[in-house]
């Protein structure tokens, strides 16, 4: 018997107005081939489910402790003493043995303060479609639709492509937020069911790109050219990262490349670096490199927008 197709999702956000036109529902898929140290969703990088622990919500094992006895692998034990942020009372937190945890979720069901949660849930096509179709009135009223994001959603190509196809059968506008670091044939297949690509461009220098993200930018640039050549539409997104691509020269190079894509690029959106993702690395105990830097000022961001506009591009702050 053939196993039903499933996709691994780590979040679904309704009433999204930042991920394409109108009011949208954004579905975030697990797994990404890039390991950007400024990633604001590090829980999106690994494909496998992960246990996240929010210390600020934990009320201590003396008051609760329900998670300890339910773990079938004994991965939870009494941890450090600290002060409750709200009451000032001394409490003992939980310690997680990541080498033993298999993210089964038993502890999350016992944790009533919701300090523990699983990042990564399997959805069937039927279940995920039912969820996003609940928001259809918002799409119809606002000219919105559904955005698939990640991670890298095309890291799960069979499920995501079928999902996009089903959405188009329902007459729903689709947007695909992608790193572009996927095989060209997957992009070719996505073109048939994608109204708008939210396309990430980070750096034109291949060596600098690889050093920071772990992958070359060659495939990313080639796929951008492919989308443009097939008549696809793109909103190019550029995260502006200190000491990586925040110079005039780096942004200008990206702008010149966008110009080469012609009418395919509707707008270039500059996204200023922020450090809100740092705490998420701690929640999942991600040992990868993490960037902690001073975000660019609004004045600096507006200067970069003006630089792109000076090249003849439509550019905005995102």
Residues near 282 by beta carbon (within 8 Å), at least 6 away in sequence: none
- Residue in 108, 62, 107 with CA at minimum distance from that of residue 82: 62
Domain-ending residue, one of 88, 103, 119: 119
Quick: pLDDT tens for 33-62.
Answer: 999 999 999 999 999 999 999 988 999 999
Residues 204 and 147 reside in one and the same domain: yes
pLDDT value of residue 303: 98
Give the pLDDT confidence score for residue 238 in this predicted structure: 98
The per-residue pLDDT for 99 is 94
pLDDT digits 0-9 by tens, 56-114: 899 999 999 999 999 999 999 999 999 877 778 899 999 999 999 999 999 999 999 99
Beta strand ranges found along 34-159 (DSSP E):
50-53, 76-83, 90-96, 116-119, 121-124, 145-149
**Does 138 lie in the same domain as 13?**
yes
Helix axes 184-191, 218-229, angle to 10 degrees: 30
Secondary structure class of 126 (helix, strand, coil): helix
Question: How confident is the model at residue 1, as a pLDDT?
Answer: 42
Q: How many domains does the chain have?
A: 2
Position 6 scores a pLDDT of 97
Among candidate residues 71, 88, 119, the one where a domain is terminated: 119
The residue among 277 and 69 whose pLDDT is bigger is: 69
Beta-carbon contacts of 218 under 8 Å, excluding residues fewer than 6 positions away, are 206
Whether residues 164 and 227 fall in one domain: yes
């Amino acid at each position: 018997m053939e196993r039903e197709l499933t996709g691994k999702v780590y979040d679904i956000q309704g009433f999204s107005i930042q991920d394409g036109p109108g009011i949208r529902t954004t579905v975030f898929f697990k797994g990404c081939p890039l390991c950007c140290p400024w990633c604001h969703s590090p829980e999106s990088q690994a494909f496998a489910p992960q246990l996240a622990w929010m210390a600020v919500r934990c009320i201590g094992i003396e008051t609760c402790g329900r998670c300890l006895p339910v773990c079938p692998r004994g991965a939870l034990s009494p941890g450090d003493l600290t002060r409750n942020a709200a009451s000032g009372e001394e409490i003992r937190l939980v310690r997680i043995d990541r080498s033993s945890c298999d993210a089964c979720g038993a502890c999350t069901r016992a944790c009533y303060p919701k300090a523990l949660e699983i990042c990564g849930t399997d959805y069937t096509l039927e279940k995920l479609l039912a969820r996003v179709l609940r928001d259809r009135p918002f799409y119809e009223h606002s000219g919105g639709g559904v955005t698939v994001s990640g991670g890298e959603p095309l890291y799960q190509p069979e499920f995501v492509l079928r999902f996009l196809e089903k959405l188009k059968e329902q007459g729903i506008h689709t947007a695909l937020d992608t790193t572009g670091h996927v095989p060209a044939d997957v992009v070719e297949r996505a073109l048939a069911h994608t109204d708008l690509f939210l396309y990430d461009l980070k750096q034109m220098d291949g060596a600098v790109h690889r050093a920071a993200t772990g992958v070359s930018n060659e495939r990313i640039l080639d796929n951008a050219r492919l989308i443009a050549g097939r008549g696809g539409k793109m909103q190019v997104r550029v995260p502006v990262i200190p000491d990586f691509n925040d110079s005039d020269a780096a942004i200008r190079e990206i702008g010149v490349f966008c110009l080469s894509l012609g009418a395919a690029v509707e707008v270039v959106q500059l996204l200023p670096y922020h450090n809100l993702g740092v705490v998420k690395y701690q929640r999942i105990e991600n040992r990868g490199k993490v960037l902690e830097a001073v975000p660019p000022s609004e004045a600096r961001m507006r200067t970069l927008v003006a630089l792109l506009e000076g090249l003849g591009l439509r550019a905005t702050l995102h």
